[in-house]
């Protein structure tokens, strides 16, 4: 293994980054769409059938996520959900992060529940 390969592996993300359309398709296929925003953000509007566990509670509540199902993390812009994705990946979960978060979901014209 070359030094460059080793170095890029060292800094590689342990999760995929996806767009809104792919997130919706994964959800339709059985993946859990996990919204890690705060309660007031969730109440302002979220993706239908998403689950809500705020990022600050994720380590204590991750067992609520059914084993064997992929997880797509989402927040408002994609930053907090990237932290959630990294955490879940270290727990051995198959996980992807929605790039651009609910902002991207809304821009893509996907449904939002209030």
DSSP letter, residue 76: S
3-state SS assignment for residue 47: coil
Cβ neighbours for 105, distance < 8 A, ≥ 6 positions apart: 20, 23, 24, 47, 74, 98, 112
Integer Cα distance of 86 and 73 in angstroms: 10
Does 75 participate in catalysis according to the annotation?
A: yes
Active-site residue, selected from the candidate residues 20, 55, 75, 98 = 75
Catalytic residues: 75
């Amino acid at each position: 293994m070359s030094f460059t390969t080793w170095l890029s592996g060292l800094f590689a993300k342990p999760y995929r980054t996806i767009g809104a359309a792919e997130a919706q398709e994964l959800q339709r296929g059985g993946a859990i769409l996990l919204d890690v925003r705060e309660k007031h953000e969730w109440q302002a509007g979220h993706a239908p059938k998403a689950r809500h566990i705020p990022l600050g509670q994720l380590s204590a509540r991750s067992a609520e996520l059914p084993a064997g199902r992929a997880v797509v993390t989402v927040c408002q812009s994609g930053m907090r959900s990237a932290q959630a994705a990294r955490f879940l990946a270290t727990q051995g979960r198959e996980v992807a992060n929605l790039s651009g978060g609910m902002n991207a979901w809304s821009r893509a014209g996907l449904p939002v529940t209030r």
